[in-house]
Structure 1
Amino acid sequence: MPYKRKDSPIWWASYADPSGKRVRRSTGTSDRKEADALEAKWKLETYRLKQWNEQPARTFDELMLAYLMATDTKKSHLKDLQRTTRLRGFFGGRTMDDLGPTDVRGYIASRKALVSNSTVNRELALLSSAINWARKECEWDIPNPVSGRKLKEPEGRVRWLTPEDAGRLIQAASELRKAPHLSAFIRLALNTGCRSQEILGLEWRRVDLGARLIVLEAEHTKSNRRRSVPLNDEAFRVILERARFRAQHCPDSQWVFCNRFGERLGSLKKGFWRACELTGISDFRIHDLRHTCAAWLVSAGVPLTEVRDLLGHSTVKMTERYAHLAPENIRAAVAVLDGLSQSGHATQKARKKKELRAA
């Protein structure tokens, strides 16, 4: 019989699995009739599995509901819900055992006419993750027809500004009365390589003025990895400016980027687009400030591994998109061959002279 926990309105089911082990499982609903129906369904499936080793048929909807409930704390949960809606339009109501490569190819064909290969890959990756999760965590014996069907994606976009253009953008931003915090935001992004939400979500407790560092905990980063970002002179000046603003207007605010009332700032896209428009800078997004920081570092000869650590890339492969900005590093590497080639040629000439004397 379904039951409720003290801290939740959701009904839970309790039944014995085929081995006799007690299973307690959330029904995901606060409706008693739905909970009764789910518990009865699970008990029947367990009975059939125990008596006749009959595996229950799993549907796409059942799979995605179970997966989304189990992963609702993911940062990408909202995007997962949106992608599931796209997948459901094609796979909804289907039994997972009946899905095969032909169905996946059909989905790819239907979506490629509307979206990029990258978008299709993200949607299919979600389905594949859900299947693998169910196979491992729920021991569902279902195939994964998505495996090995990733589409080729174009090389990652790299759009960056010259220091001169960046200076003009900062100047334009500083003159926008409706975006008084935009200039400071741009300067900090250019000098730290942080993502937009890493900056806007920065709290004062994670700013170490003495060590000139800002700390990004795992929960604040896209890669779910903690990292510390050093502040150069320009970034440090921005932090001090924000500290003075806080002291003057909202001393109790926890946010580095806040309004006069101490409330965290939301998106700065409108002001950013306006600043780009005023300076004649086209095809440039807020995230490209991060690309610009990386491009400047690589052009200055900073090793890719160090740029990777600063930006918080999970692998150096993501950082390699900037490698072409440091051709001098490669030129210095191949120059080593000149020495080897000349040395080898000199040795060969000496050997021939020695042979002639001996003759």
Structure 2
Amino acid sequence: MAWVRKNKSGWVACYRDRNGVRRTLKGQVFTHKKQAQNAAAEAETKAQRKRTSSSIPWSEWRDTWQEQRTVESSTQTEDEKRIDRYLSPRWADVALCDIEREDLKAWRAELLKPYEVKVKGETATRQRSTATVNRIMSLMSKSLSDAVDSEVLEYNPAKGLTISGGDVEHERYLTKAEVAKVTAELSPRWALLMNFLAYTGLRWGEAKIHSLDGIYQKRIDVKRGVVQVFEVWDDKAGEVKQYPKGKLRRTVPVPKWLMDSLPTTGPRLLSPRGAMPQNNNFRRALNAAADKAGVERFRVHDLRHTYASWLVQAGRPLEQVQYLLGHKSIIMTQRYAHLGELPHDDILSALA
């Protein structure tokens, strides 16, 4: 039962929360006792109502939560996969109020452990990356924070349980000579696509737009020698998406020799079969060409890193590189800052 007590400033409302713990209504002191009694009764009723709501299993909240979410369709598809694979098997039958922080920590530890899978009849050991586990934990935390926002839970026990630092991504920077060696082993259309990615720094989806017909042909301005990055192709959703949404529209210069090598009519960047290029096919072609050329294998996205590395090593300001890459924050661009550092010999000679 709610109650009140008097202090020097006036009357204070007191109640018990859903766990039976004594609480004081924070930040409120009442002049009249009756006002404090009414506030205390209301706070306790609200706390008990939360207790009933928070007793529902996580699976029941999940259905409500997913209906309320407003995210991109591709994000929703990926999240649903993670929910079905990781969240639901562990938490579906657990009441929201019974999800404890220690249990979440133990679950995180399990996700980080190596596990065995069957590959062509053989047992193989796999381990999830820190980034993968962080995405899983973030999704769980989001479900609980939204429950707090909906006044179903009082607090989010998963808050702050992602792992700082994480895996160090191996970034591969190719030299211009290496790019030339690999493109020499590719079919003409794959070579054109590789050069376009390496010499513009566009993301895969941004470049893939130029395999489409119509208005997208106009995004490459031959007279000005630039490519306008206004849209992106979303492979997961299978559709074009407009910028900006977390990323920025921009205009990127294209070397004249590369611009001259692009088709003058129709879609500019097609696969060898004349269709929209697929990442898996392009990656296989790159691997085979790199092996033939005697160049260490690299990912498609490493061509974007390569572009940034060339600019920084040539002394371009990070702010300019940030714009050309379409980074919303300079923090993302600072990952390349070390490439522009002076050689140690120059530093030592200055100190001599």
Classify the TM-score, shorter chain: 0.5 to 0.7
Q: Which amino acid aligns with 1:289?
A: L
Q: Does 1:53 align with 2:43?
A: no
The CA deviation string for residues 285-305 of structure 1, in whole angstroms up to 9 with x for no partner, is: 111101111111111111222
- Measured in 2, the distance between the counterparts of 1:243 and 1:264 equals 15
Aligned residue runs from structure 1 range 41-190, under 5 A: 53=49, 55-57=52-54, 58-69=56-67, 70-84=69-83, 85-113=85-113, 114-136=127-149, 138-151=150-163, 152-173=165-186, 176=187, 180-190=188-198
Whole-angstrom CA distance in 1 between matches of 2:278 and 2:328: 27
Question: In 2, Cα distance between the equivalents of 1:222 and 1:106?
Answer: 39
Q: Measure the CA separation in 2 of the matches of 1:260 and 1:196.
A: 17
Give the distance between the partners of 1:312 and 1:331, measured in 2 at CA: 34
Q: Secondary structure at the match of 1:181?
A: helix
User: Residue 61 of structure 1 aligns to which amino acid in structure 2?
Assistant: S
Q: Residue by residue, what CA displacement relative to the aligned partner does 1:46-90 show, whole Å, maximum 9, x if unpaired? A: xxx89x735413432234334444235244223212221222222
Q: CA shift at 1:278, angstroms?
A: 1.3
Give me the TM-score of the superposition, normalised by structure 1. 0.66
Moved more, 54-63 or 78-87: 54-63
1:119–1:158 distance in 2 versus 1, CA, 3 Å: same
Task: Report deviation, 1:314.
Answer: 2.8
1:204 maps onto 2:212 in alignment? no
Q: Which ranges in structure 2 are unaligned for 5 or more consecutive residues?
A: 1-44, 114-126, 211-215, 233-240
Number of the residue aligned with 1:256: 268
**Structure 1 gap segments, 5+ residues each:** 1-48, 339-359
- 2:347, 2:66 → 1: CA distance? 50
Distance 1:220 1:273 in 2: 31
- Aligned in 2, Cα 1:264/1:272: closer, same or farther, shift over 3 Å? same
CA pair 153-231 structure 1, distance change in 2 beyond 3 A: same
Superposition map of 1:225-244 within 5 A: 225-234=247-256, 237-244=257-264
Q: What amino acid maps onto 1:318 in structure 2?
A: M
Shift of 1:233: 1.7
Q: 1:145, 1:60 → 2: CA distance?
A: 13
User: Any conservation in 2 of the 1:223–1:313 contact (CA below 8 Å)?
Assistant: no
Does the CA-based 8 Å contact 1:192-1:293 persist in structure 2? yes
Of residues 216, 224, 230, the one that matches 1:216 is: 230
Any conservation in 2 of the 1:97–1:142 contact (CA below 8 Å)?
no
Change (3 A) 1:100 1:331: farther
Question: Residues 311-357 of structure 1: CA distance to partner in whole angstroms, max 9, x if unpaired?
Answer: 12232222222221111299999999x8xxxxxxxxxxxxxxxxxxx
Which stretch has the larger CA shift, 288-297 or 323-332? 323-332
Q: How many residues align structurally?
A: 274
Question: Aligned to 1:76, what secondary structure does the other structure show?
Answer: helix
Structure-2-length-normalised TM-score = 0.67
CA-based RMSD = 3.3
Task: Measure the CA separation in 2 of the matches of 1:146 and 1:213.
Answer: 44
How big is the shift at 1:222? 9.4
Higher helix proportion (structure 1 or 2): 1
The CA distance in 2 between the partners of 1:260 and 1:140, in whole Å, is 55
Identity of aligned residues (%): 24
